[in-house]
Amino acid sequence: MSWSTKDIPEQHGRIAVVTGGNGGLGLETARALAANGAHVVIASRNPKKAAAAVEDITATVADASLEVVALDLGSQASVKLAAETILAAHPRIDLLINNAGVMAIAEGRTVDGFEEQFGVDHLGHWTLTALLLPALAATEGARIVTVTSTAHLMGRSVDPTNPNLEGRYGPWRAYGQAKLANYHFGLGLDRELRRKGAKAASLIAHPGLSNTDLQSASVSGSNGGRTQRIAEFVSHHTGMTAANGALSQLRAATDPGAQGGEFYGPLFVNNGPPVRKPILRRFDMEKGITRLWTTSERETGVPISV
C-alpha cells in the first residue's frame, strides 16, 4: 500500500524544526507534522511569508502548535542566532528537517563569501545541525532528515581547493555539487551518530519532481536561462503537488520502520509514492564524505561534534 500522511504516527509532545517551512515542501511538511500534534518551529528567512504560512496552516489545522524563528541560511551569523534561539526554548528536539534551499540560480555569494547554492543548501544546514546536535543526539528517537535531489547524481563531490567553483561556475553544476553535499552530509552524519552511540539518526530524502516555487525562483534568479525555463515548465505540467512531494521527507522523519542512513524518494524516480531507495555512488562516497567534512569545518569554523 502507498504511504501517505495518514500513516504518520501520533506526534504530540514532539518538537520539530523545519527549515524553509514557510512555503512549498517545507510548508506541507510543517502542516502534516502539526496536524499530527507536533510543535513545529518554522525556521524562515522571510517574516512575511512565515506569518502567511502560520495563517495557512492554522486555517486547516485549528489547534496547530507553531513557532517562527528567523533563519537566513546564507548568513552564518543568522544561523548561529537561530540555533541559540531554538535551544533556549527547546532543550530537546525530536525532528530537524533540513529542507530549505535554492536551485540553479545565477552565480552569487552569501554574506560570508560562499558560493550561494553551496552556502545556503549545505553550509547553512551544516552549521545549524552542528549547533542543534546536542539537543538532537540526546533525544531518544530523534531524526535529522536532509533533503537532497536527483540532481545529486550529476553532481561532483566538493573540491576542497575550490568549493566555491571560482572560474568553473554553472547554475546546474553548482546545484549538483550542493545536492551531492546534502547526500553525503546526511549519510556521513548518520555514521558519526552510530559511531558515538547517539540516540538520534540521520536520513536523507528527495522530493522528485514537485511543482513548487523553487522552480520559479530558479528562473527569476538565473535571469530566465533556457534550462531553468524548461525545468519550470516540466515541473508545472508534470510535477507532483507540494503535498505529495513532501511525503518522502515526512516518511523519513516519521515512519517507525525507517532507519538511520536510509534514503527515501518517489517510487518512479521523480514521481510516485515515497519508498526506500538504494544508496548509489558508493564507489566514491567515503572520499566525498571525508572531503565534505574537511571543507565544511574549515569554511564555517564549526565542527560536527556528537
Q: What is the CATH number of the domain that holds 163?
A: 3.40.50.720
Q: With contact defined as beta carbons under 8 Å apart, do 267 and 96 qualify?
A: no
The reported pLDDT for the residue numbered 213 is 65
Rounded-to-10 torsion of CA 260, 263, 266, 268: -140
The closest of 176, 200, 47, 69 to 121, measured between CA atoms, is 176
Is the pLDDT at 26 greater than 50? The verdict is yes
Asked if residue 67 belongs to a domain, the reply is: yes
Asked if residue 150 belongs to a domain, the reply is: yes
**What's the rounded mean pLDDT across residues 9-32?**
98
Asked if residue 231 belongs to a domain, the reply is: no
Q: CA-to-CA distance for 189 and 42, rounded, in angstroms?
A: 23
Residue that has been written with the C-alpha cell 528537517 in this structure: 97
Asked if residue 221 belongs to a domain, the reply is: no
Is the pLDDT at 84 greater than 90? The verdict is yes
Check if 264 is active-site: no
pLDDT in tens, 103-150: 999 999 999 999 999 999 999 999 999 999 999 999 999 999 999 999
- Sign of the alpha-carbon dihedral angle for 48, 62, 82, 9: negative
Asked if residue 230 belongs to a domain, the reply is: no
The reported pLDDT for the residue numbered 210 is 72
**What's the rounded mean pLDDT across residues 194-210?**
95
Beta-sheet strands, E only, within 108-254: 143-147, 201-205
Take residue 107 and report the three cell numbers written for it: 552565480
The chain-wide mean pLDDT, for the chain, equals 92
pLDDT in tens, 242-296: 999 999 999 999 999 999 999 999 999 899 999 999 998 677 899 999 999 999 9
Q: CA-to-CA distance for 282 and 210, rounded, in angstroms?
A: 27
Q: CA-to-CA distance for 193 and 12, rounded, in angstroms?
A: 25
Q: With contact defined as beta carbons under 8 Å apart, do 151 and 176 qualify?
A: yes
Beta-sheet strands, E only, within 25-177: 39-44, 65-70, 95-98, 143-147
**Secondary structure of residue 226 in the 3-state scheme:** helix
The reported pLDDT for the residue numbered 212 is 66
Q: With contact defined as beta carbons under 8 Å apart, do 47 and 22 qualify?
A: no
Is the pLDDT at 214 greater than 60? The verdict is no
Range of the domain at 259: 5-209+244-300
Q: With contact defined as beta carbons under 8 Å apart, do 300 and 76 qualify?
A: yes
Asked if residue 54 belongs to a domain, the reply is: yes
Is the pLDDT at 34 greater than 70? The verdict is yes
Instruction: Indicate which residue of 169, 175, 183, 264 is catalytic.
Output: 175
Rounded-to-10 torsion of CA 86, 88, 90, 93: 60
Band of pLDDT at residue 237, cut at 50, 70 and 90: very low
% of the chain beyond a pLDDT of 70: 90
- Residues with Cβ within 8 Å of residue 170, at least 6 apart in sequence: none
Q: With contact defined as beta carbons under 8 Å apart, do 72 and 45 qualify?
A: yes
> Count of domains in the chain?
1
Take residue 57 and report the three cell numbers written for it: 496552516
Beta-sheet strands, E only, within the chain: 15-19, 39-44, 65-70, 95-98, 143-147, 201-205, 263-268, 271-277
Asked if residue 86 belongs to a domain, the reply is: yes
**What's the rounded mean pLDDT across residues 33-46?**
98
Band of pLDDT at residue 218, cut at 50, 70 and 90: very low
Asked if residue 154 belongs to a domain, the reply is: yes
Band of pLDDT at residue 215, cut at 50, 70 and 90: very low
